[in-house]
Amino acid sequence: MKNRLVVQVGLAALCLLGLAGGAGAADKVKAVASFSILGDMVRQVGGDRVEVATLVGPDGDAHVFSPTPADAKMLAGAQIFFVNGLGFEGWMERLEKSSGFKGKTVVASNGVKPRSMVEEEE
């Protein structure tokens, strides 16, 4: 599953590079990642062609995160939005809608078949 996530983030980063085209340093692709680990992956793949902001920092909890108006403004100015998916960011759709975000959303978990846990009977 980790490999699939890396591949999907890598493919999305290729989209980033396509958005950047032959742009100079001042024209970096503006990306927002829903949480810090995903943001780090985007930075590693996008390198100096991407400017990444994260909504939930390394000490935050994406499950209980509550976006602010500043977060909506940041997302509105982005070209691409990286999210985990699978219900990890319950607030994501509301934020996208309220911000007026018009860019591309990349869901890192697309194509991942989650495993369900079954508790053993005692």
Segment 23-75, tens digit of pLDDT:
555 789 999 999 999 999 999 999 999 999 999 999 999 888 999 999 999 99
- Residue 9: pLDDT band by 50, 70, 90 thresholds? low
Is residue 4 within 8 A of residue 111, CB to CB? The reply is yes
Residue 74 parent element (H or E): helix 69-76
Find the mean pLDDT for residues 82-90: 88
Q: Where are the domains of the chain?
A: 2-107
pTM, two decimals, is 0.74
pLDDT of residue 114: 86
Max Cα distance, the chain (Å): 63
pLDDT higher than 70, residue 8:
no
Superfamily for the 2-107 domain: Nitrogenase molybdenum iron protein domain (3.40.50.1980)
